[in-house]
A = this chain, B = another copy of it.
Amino acid sequence: MTSHGQSNSGNPLMPPVGAIARRTRTARHEDIRLFTEMTGDRNPLHYDEEAAARSRFGGIIVQGGVTSGLLNAVVAEDLPGPGSVFLRVGWNFLAPVRPGDEITAEVEVLEVHESKPVARLRTTIIRSDGTVVLDGDAHVYRAELT
């Protein structure tokens, strides 16, 4: 991979090192239901208000996959853009996200492979109160779309 500051003009599918993109979204109760329909995950932490309130989370939380899904959207829509898929993710889930929380997912290009359309990204999701709810990194591959 190229190091920070080097050009990657030989890799037109990839943005330069240092490029940043972000998306903001409000998590919804409906997202919990969509995730359940997609996966079968019916964890009471996402449905049972009373049990969730008594747990250490203090109330209903959304599935981690709802939160991290906003990074899929940034990568596929914005940076690197359409055709991008994750090859590897290393994500720490640091704090809960509840329905109604506004979250912002940010991606920064850390390294770009010198010949392949592959990059390593810093991936972060922050709640609007400033709490980091997810951090880590990801390797992304971008397929050429013609």
Chain A contact residues, CB within 8 Å of chain B: 23, 25, 31, 34-35, 37-45, 48, 51, 54-57, 61, 63-66, 68-70, 72-73, 76-77, 82-93, 136, 143-146
**A22 CB to nearest chain B CB (Å):** 13
- Residue A146 contacts which of B51, B72, B87 (CB distance < 8 angstroms)? B51
Contacts of A41 on B, CB cut-off 8 Å? Answer: 69, 72-73, 76-77
Find out whether the CB atom of B65 lies under 8 angstroms from the CB atom of A69. yes
Find out whether the CB atom of A72 lies under 8 angstroms from the CB atom of B64. yes
**A37 CB to nearest chain B CB (Å):** 6
Find out whether the CB atom of B76 lies under 8 angstroms from the CB atom of A43. yes
Contacts of A89 on B, CB cut-off 8 Å? Answer: 64, 89-91, 93
